[in-house]
Amino acid sequence: MPFLELTLPCSQVQQPRYEQALERVGALSVTLADAHADAPDEQAIFEPGVGQTPLWDDMQLTALFPDGTPRELLLHALQAADEGIDWSRAAFREVADQDWERAWMDQYVPLQFGRRTWIVPWNHDLPPGTDADDAAVVRLDPGLAFGSGTHPTTALCLQWLDALADEGVLDGSRVLDFGCGSGILALAALKLGACDAIGIDNDPQAIAATLDNAQRNGEDARLSAYLPDDAPAGAYPVVVANILASALVELADVIAARVAPGGYIALSGILAGQEGEVMARYAEAFDDLRAEQSDDWMRVTGRRR
Interstrand relation of 174-178 and 286-294 (parallel, antiparallel or unpaired): unpaired
Tell whether residue 253 is among the known ligand binding residues: no
Question: End-to-end distance of the chain based on CA atoms, in angstroms?
Answer: 63
Is the distance from CB of 151 to CB of 119 less than 8 angstroms? no
Is the distance from CB of 268 to CB of 299 less than 8 angstroms? yes
Percent helix / strand / coil, the chain, rounded to 5: 30, 30, 40
Tell whether residue 242 is among the known ligand binding residues: yes
Directed axis angle between helix 71-81 and helix 15-24, to 10°?
120
Tell whether residue 171 is among the known ligand binding residues: no
CA distance 225 to 286: 26
Q: Is 178 in a helix, a strand, or coil?
A: strand
As a whole number of angstroms, the longest Cα–Cα distance in the chain is 71
CA distance 146 to 184: 9
Q: Which of 226, 186, 232, 234 is nearest to 203 (CA)?
A: 226
Tell whether residue 153 is among the known ligand binding residues: no
Contacts with 29 (C-beta within 8 Å, 6 or more apart), sequence order: 63, 64
> What are the backbone angles phi and psi of residue 267, rounded to the nearest 5°?
-120, 125
Annotated binding site for S-adenosyl-L-methionine: 154, 179, 201, 242
Annotated binding site: 154, 179, 201, 242
